[in-house]
Chain A
């Protein structure tokens, strides 16, 4: 059961602002999603290792070689606000 407190905490963690009624609404939604997976706990996974990658591939590397970077101008092309070749944000305290 996901409480309104949990929704509030998670929203804060995810940098989302929720109005009071939204909190209740999402708590309800999240619980519905949760219901769809109640059955998972019944599947016996003792001795089963987690499967984070479906492919049997390992050791994918690149060699330590320097390639081309983008220019400062290109990197900043989509920046909402910039200054002196850098992305600009409000003062970090």
Chain B
């Protein structure tokens, strides 16, 4: 019999705010000492009251708009109760009755074709802390640095049917949320986490099979492996009766390539949600709604088509539109220098080379894009040599404040007409010091000219328009 897999995803994404959702502790504690980014509010002590970080709502709305959701104009926070040491209040403040965004859609494309994945809802909530297990001592240690870091949970409908589709969906989700600049979405950093709800049924059946939920996958590759393993386990159970499938939460062990049933919480499902009396309703009026709506960027496809119309190759347009940071770099630099094709060449060569050398992702690109455009202009105008422009660009990566023209001037890299005498002096010196090459050239050895040219350029520290140098050199040799 043929089977189909039915998959729904719950994706948690950390929002890229500066501070936590209900208190002003820093939301960035990666690598910090345990419990050093904590106040009485986010470690569950009595008496502190939650006050919502406005930007969390901005980001929640924007994420909803990116995923084609309806925005709930009145959205509220609720308390969800359960006991676990990483949850200091024994409740999580989340959204149960009126989440910020509902009824969305994410379009994906795989080898099986195009597909729309329906989004049930997006809700805003606080993250839990971290547990550190000390195996030798048999104890667990709790670090609350991560508690109350803002999250959105994106709940899809069970519209996915393969590991390939799940990958396409997650990549798309990541691209869109990064486009909106609301989240880092880096699974390796834990800023994007995914639980997989999966069941299997005979192809064509409209009855859902027993559903299991899998947690603890730390990469898209691990998610794909987990889905393939779990699908096989379900089919095997159905066909061969190897085990009885039960609705449960399972933990994926990527090293072993297996999923294991987690100890079932005897109380699962009864989270006793109720409206948080300390958090007033959030009411999104038209002005606020439109402000966020207007900040929603063009989608990647739109940018790609636009770039192709500007004369970029399909390949380049695709590459640039992969990341909003590259898009902005391309668009702003193009505007500054008026030559999009040249800009894309610089991005795909120099910028990507430097990023690669610095082991930076596209998202970490932090250039002053206008200044970058100006650097290109200066180079095209012959005011800075190509070799020096690379050096300047590299410096601009380290210091956003660098203004290329001023920097070139300060470092003697600016090519000016007043330099003709200087160049001539150096050329004369080189020509006099190497009569052999001069003779070789006069006897028809073109390569000898290049040797002389190279020597001159070295003396000039590259600070010279090559065309200009060539003219002066030829004039000098030929008298």
- Please list the residues of chain A having a beta carbon within 8 angstroms of any beta carbon in chain B: 12-13, 15, 50, 52-53, 55, 57-72, 75-76, 83-93
- Please list the residues of chain B having a beta carbon within 8 angstroms of any beta carbon in chain A: 17-19, 23-26, 33-40, 43, 51-57, 76, 83, 85, 131-134, 138-144, 263, 266-267, 270, 272, 274-275, 277, 279-283
A52 vs B281: C-alpha distance when bound (angstroms): 10
Query: B281–A58 contact, CB under 8 A?
Result: yes
Query: B35–A62 contact, CB under 8 A?
Result: no
A58-B281, A64-B18, A85-B34 given; A70·B39 CB < 8 A: yes
By a CB distance below 8 angstroms, the chain A residues around B142 are 86-89
A50 vs B97: C-alpha distance when bound (angstroms): 12
By a CB distance below 8 angstroms, the chain B residues around A55 are 280
Query: B83–A15 contact, CB under 8 A?
Result: yes
By a CB distance below 8 angstroms, the chain A residues around B282 are 58-59
- Chain A contact residues: helix, strand, loop or mixed: loop
Query: A89–B33 contact, CB under 8 A?
Result: no
Number of A-B contacts (CB under 8 A): 126
Query: A69–B54 contact, CB under 8 A?
Result: no
- Taking a contact as CB atoms closer than 8 A, the residue among B38, B55, B143, B275 that contacts A64 in the complex is B55
- Taking a contact as CB atoms closer than 8 A, the residue among B23, B38, B39, B54 that contacts A61 in the complex is B54
- Nearest chain A residue, comparing its CB with the CB of B278: A53
Query: A60–B51 contact, CB under 8 A?
Result: yes
By a CB distance below 8 angstroms, the chain B residues around A70 are 38-40
- Nearest chain A residue, comparing its CB with the CB of B56: A64
Task: Report A75 CB to chain B, min CB distance, Å.
Answer: 5
By a CB distance below 8 angstroms, the chain B residues around A13 are 267, 270, 272
By a CB distance below 8 angstroms, the chain B residues around A57 are 280
Task: Report B475 CB to chain A, min CB distance, Å.
Answer: 63
By a CB distance below 8 angstroms, the chain B residues around A93 are 263
Task: Report B189 CB to chain A, min CB distance, Å.
Answer: 19
A69-B36, A71-B36 given; A62·B52 CB < 8 A: yes
Among A87, A89, A91, which residue has the most Cβ atoms of chain B within 10 A? A87
- Taking a contact as CB atoms closer than 8 A, the residue among A52, A64, A88 that contacts B53 in the complex is A64
Query: A83–B141 contact, CB under 8 A?
Result: yes
Query: A58–B283 contact, CB under 8 A?
Result: yes
A81 vs B297: C-alpha distance when bound (angstroms): 50
By a CB distance below 8 angstroms, the chain B residues around A85 are 33-36, 143
A12 vs B460: C-alpha distance when bound (angstroms): 82
Task: Report B417 CB to chain A, min CB distance, Å.
Answer: 52
Query: B19–A91 contact, CB under 8 A?
Result: no
